[in-house]
Amino acid sequence: MRQAPTQARTDAGATAPLWQLLATVASTLQSVLAGRSATAALETVAPSLRPGVQSLLYQTLRSLGRAQVLRSRLVARTPPPPVDALLCTALALCWHEAKAPYPAHTLLHQTVEAAKHRPATRAQAGFVNACLRRFLRERAALIAATDADPLAHWNHPPWWVRRLQIDHPQAWQQILQAADAPAPMVLRVNQQKCTPAQYLQALEAINIEASPVGVSGLVLRRPVPVQQLPGFEAGWVSVQDAGAQLAAPLLLQGLNLHAPLRVLDACAAPGGKTAHLLELAPPGASWHVTALEVDAARSGRIHANLARLGLHAQVLVADAACPQDWWRQSGGLPFDAILLDAPCTASGIVRRHPDVRWLRRPTDIDQLAAQQARLLNALWPLLRPGGRLLYCTCSVFRAEGEDQVQMFLAHHKDAARMPAPGHLLPTSADNRPTGQDDTHYDHDGFFYALLEKKPA
């Protein structure tokens, strides 16, 4: 029988009462359900609690649909938001016995303690206790009764599931299953400083297991704090999903990398793709790389990442869709290569950000597609003939991928489509399609279209 701990590990060597973590998870979940991103909500959590809270919150978000349907079976009316968030947190964490982080009875008792300690839920502690005790008594019947509900089964909003069924009729289940698997930690080796093989040896020397993925990537068997990675502060590696690591090589393929190049990363924060472009520059190459970011605060992350890696780019705070505000400052000459990693629904990175599915609304897709079209149309005139633009999104919805590019090509006869993956659907170690090579193994969902401007 598993031990029933009431102390939970938080940061290195520290512990906190489990009820305190559960109370904080519920409060953070309430913020997410009110429309705040999990990233922003977690920033308000005490640093000592944050790792434990994030782990439990992400597990809760991955089973939130099931929890909400179970809650609807247990109570006639939805409780007030603080009580509902706490109740759904407990149900999400304990409904699946094999995946529960703690024994069910421990979660029950500690959730009731959390209710007693929070002013917003104190008066409802008995109600929470009664609901959870009933759930444990009737667990098998309640789970069986909710299995057929799409929200409970897929843990995504029904509109999201319907959209995937239309966009990817052969792969929609694979996409949803991948979204519920925690993402691995993948590193991009900075080949200006070492090779993937050399870095793999450095990891093995300190008993960190990893395997190659793609051209410059290593996927860790278990995530570790970046401070434990050899040479991280010296810029040997960065954390970047294997699918995202395709962007920079795709954009640069076919270009003369030894020639002076003008390169634009149009929506650059936090700077991972900007850095990867610079890492691929040959020794002595004379490149002018401009990184644009409309958000001044987020642009600071580009500076920080480039500084750690020992790289340099011109970083401008500006809206890429308004070249009149920044083009002259970037040099006022056509670009040889443009990377447009456009704002999108982030529907391809749900396994990494499980709050996204609960934050998005169906209307977001059309609004973001309009913004993507505006960016494409604004940046295309800035590309020289023979130059290349890589359009990418971390979305699996066709409106932000294939449909967007088809519309662009219909209105720009000087654009030629070059080989690129198109919709790169998310895969995990558990659902990799048979025969898929290691280059595209265990990655988030992306869309890539490479466009070359025909000579006038």
Q: CA 297, CA 313: separation in Å to the nearest integer?
A: 17
Residue 38, pLDDT above cutoff 90? yes
Residue 212: its H or E element:
strand 210-213
Q: Cβ distance 61 to 33 under 8 Å?
A: no
Cα(279)–Cα(284) distance, rounded to whole angstroms? Answer: 12
Please choose, from the candidates 23, 126, 19, 148, the residue with its C-alpha nearest in 3D space to the C-alpha of residue 73: 148
Torsion, CA 250, CA 251, CA 254, CA 256, rounded to 10 = -130
pLDDT at residue 429, rounded to an integer: 57
φ, ψ for residue 359 (rounded to 5)?
Answer: -90, -30
Q: What is the pLDDT of residue 5?
A: 59
Higher pLDDT pick, 7 / 27: 27
Mean pLDDT of 372-396: 98
Length, in residues, of the chain: 456
Report pLDDT digits (tens) over 397-413. Answer: 999 999 999 999 999 99
Residue 435 pLDDT level (bands cut at 50, 70, 90): very low
Whether 361 has a pLDDT exceeding 80, the answer reads: yes
Q: What is the pTM of this model?
A: 0.92
**Beta carbons of 391 and 405 less than 8 angstroms apart:** yes
Measured in Å, how far apart are the chain's first and last C-alpha atoms? 74
| Average model confidence (pLDDT) across the chain | 94
Q: Is the pLDDT of residue 431 over 60?
A: no
- Neighbouring residues of 248: CB distance < 8 A, sequence distance ≥ 6: 273, 276, 277, 279, 280, 339
200-255 tens-digit pLDDT: 999 999 999 999 998 899 999 999 999 999 999 999 999 999 999 999 999 999 99
Enumerate the active-site residues: 394
Could you tell me if residue 435 is left (phi over 0), alpha (psi between -120 and 50 degrees) or otherwise beta?
left
pLDDT at residue 108, rounded to an integer: 97
- pLDDT tens per residue, range 140-179: 999 999 999 999 999 999 999 999 999 999 999 999 999 9
The pLDDT-based confidence of 456 (bands split at 50, 70, 90) is confident
| Secondary-structure breakdown of the chain: helix, strand, coil percentages, each rounded to the nearest 5 | 45, 15, 35
Residue ranges of the alpha helices (H) in 118-195? 125-137, 139-146, 150-154, 158-167, 172-179
Which residues are bridge partners to 17 per DSSP?
A: 7
Closest by Cα among 195, 73, 210, 67 to 138: 73
Query: Is residue 45 scored above 60 in pLDDT?
Result: yes
Contact 288, 260 (CB under 8 A): yes
Sign of CA dihedral 24, 220, 37, 277: positive
| 14 — pLDDT class (breaks 50, 70, 90) | low
- pLDDT band, residue 442 (cuts 50/70/90): confident
What are the CA-CA distances from residue 52 to residues 47, 86, 304, 349 (Å)? 10, 16, 26, 21
pLDDT at 428: 65
Residue 427 pLDDT: 81
* pLDDT at 437 > cutoff 80: no
pLDDT (mean) for 102-124: 97
CA–CA distance, 108 with 104 (Å, rounded to integer):
6
Quick: pLDDT tens for 290-325.
999 999 999 999 999 999 999 999 999 999 999 999
Q: 104 with 140: CB under 8 angstroms?
A: no
